[in-house]
Chain A
Amino acid sequence: MFRRINKYRKWRTLLQNVTDTLGRPDDFVVRTLTVKGYQRKVYCLYIRSITDKTVINEYILEPIMNGNFEEAESSLAQQNQFIQEYKLSSMYQQQLEQLVVDALLSSRAVVADVEEDRLLFFPCAHSDHRQISEPDSEAVIRGPHEGITESLETNIGLIRKRVPNPNVRLELFHIGRDTQTKVMLLYIANITPDPIVQEARRRIEKIDTDSVLESSYIEEFIQDNMYSVFPTLANTEKPDVVVARLLEGKVAFLVDGTPSVIMGPMTFFEFFSSPEDHYERADIATFIRFIRFISFVIAVLVPAIYVATTSFHPELLPTALVISLASQAEGVPLPTLAEVLIMEIIFEIIREAGLRMPRAIGQALSIVGAIVLGQAAVQAGLISAAVVIVVAVTAIANFVVPVYGFGIAQRLLRFSFLLLGGFMGLFGVLCGLLFLIIHLVSLESFKVPYMAPAVPFYFADWKDVFFRVPRPHMGKQRLPQYLLDVRKKSR
Chain B
Amino acid sequence: MFRGRDFLLRLGLIFSILLILTGCWDKKELDQLAMISMIGVDYDPEKDQIVMYYQVINPYSGASALEPGGPQSLVYTYRIEGRSFGEIRTLSFEWMSRYLFEAHFRMLILSKSAAKHILREVVNSIESLPRAKASVPVLVAEDSLHDIMNHFTLLERVPAQAIQNRLRYLIDFSLYVSRDIQLRDISERMLQDRVVVLPMIKVLPGKSDQIEQRESNIDASQDNVIITGGAVIKDFKMVGKMVDSDLISYNVLNGAKGRHTKLMTLNGKEVTLTYQPVRFKRTVTLRNNKPVITFHIDFMLTAERSIEYMPKTYQEAIKMEEEFDRRAKRKEQAFVEKYLAKGWDVVGVKDALKRYLPDYPQNDNILQEVEIQFVNHSNYMYPSHILESY
Residue among A225, A314, A315, A324 making CB contact with B63, cutoff 8 Å: A324
Is B60 at the interface (CB under 8 A from chain A)?
yes
Report the minimum CB–CB distance from B29 to chain A (whole Å). Answer: 6
| Chain B, range 92-131, C-beta contacts under 8 Å to A | 101, 103-104, 106, 131
- Convert A219-254 into 0s and 1s, putting 1 for each residue whose CB lies closer than 8 angstroms to a CB of B: 000000111000000000000000000000000000
Return chain B residues, CB-CB under 8 Å to A372: none
Kindly state the interface size class of chain A when it binds its partner. 20 to 34
Q: Is the CB of A322 within 8 A of B24?
A: no
Report the minimum CB–CB distance from A313 to chain B (whole Å). Answer: 9
Q: Is the interface of A mostly helix, strand, loop or mixed?
A: helix
Q: Is the interface of B mostly helix, strand, loop or mixed?
A: mixed
Which stretch from B1-9, B192-200, B238-246, B301-309 is at the chain A interface?
Answer: B1-9
Is B315 at the interface (CB under 8 A from chain A)?
no
Q: Complex Cα distance A328/B24, Å?
A: 22
Q: Is the CB of A322 within 8 A of B104?
A: yes
Is A362 at the interface (CB under 8 A from chain B)?
no
Return chain B residues, CB-CB under 8 Å to A427: 21-22
- Convert A313-328 into 0s and 1s, putting 1 for each residue whose CB lies closer than 8 angstroms to a CB of B: 0110001001111111
Is B35 at the interface (CB under 8 A from chain A)?
yes
Report the minimum CB–CB distance from B183 to chain A (whole Å). Answer: 16
Q: Is the CB of B22 within 8 A of A329?
A: no
Q: Complex Cα distance A131/B28, Å?
A: 58
Residue among A324, A423, A428 making CB contact with B62, cutoff 8 Å: A324
Q: Complex Cα distance A310/B27, Å?
A: 9
Is B64 at the interface (CB under 8 A from chain A)?
yes
Return chain B residues, CB-CB under 8 Å to A325: 30
Return chain B residues, CB-CB under 8 Å to A95: none
How many residue pairs, one in A and one in B, have C-beta atoms under 8 Å apart?
97
| Chain B, range 1-40, C-beta contacts under 8 Å to A | 1, 3-4, 7-8, 11, 14, 18-19, 21-24, 26-31, 33, 35, 37
Q: Is the CB of A435 within 8 A of B11?
A: yes
Is B57 at the interface (CB under 8 A from chain A)?
yes
Contact of A335 with B29 at beta-carbon distance under 8 Å, contacts A326-B62, A423-B19, A425-B22 already known: yes
Kindly state the interface size class of chain B when it binds its partner. 35 or more
Is B59 at the interface (CB under 8 A from chain A)?
yes
Is B61 at the interface (CB under 8 A from chain A)?
yes
Return the chain B residue nearest A324 by Cβ: B62
Q: Complex Cα distance A336/B118, Å?
A: 41
Return the chain B residue nearest A334 by Cβ: B29
- Convert A107-123 into 0s and 1s, putting 1 for each residue whose CB lies closer than 8 angstroms to a CB of B: 00000000000000000
Q: Is the CB of B22 within 8 A of A326?
A: no
Is B66 at the interface (CB under 8 A from chain A)?
yes
Q: Is the CB of B33 within 8 A of A311?
A: no
Return the chain A residue nearest B60 by Cβ: A330
Return chain A residues, CB-CB under 8 Å to B66: 330-331, 381
Contact of A328 with B62 at beta-carbon distance under 8 Å, contacts A225-B3, A319-B106, A442-B1 already known: yes
7 new A-B pairs (CB below 8 Å) besides A323-B35, A327-B59, A424-B19?
A: A315-B101, A319-B104, A324-B63, A330-B65, A424-B23, A425-B26, A435-B14
List 23 interface pairs A-B (beta carbons < 8 Å), by A numbering. Answer: A310-B29, A312-B27, A314-B30, A314-B33, A314-B103, A322-B104, A323-B59, A324-B62, A324-B63, A325-B30, A326-B30, A326-B35, A326-B59, A327-B60, A329-B31, A331-B66, A335-B27, A335-B29, A336-B29, A425-B26, A427-B22, A431-B18, A435-B14
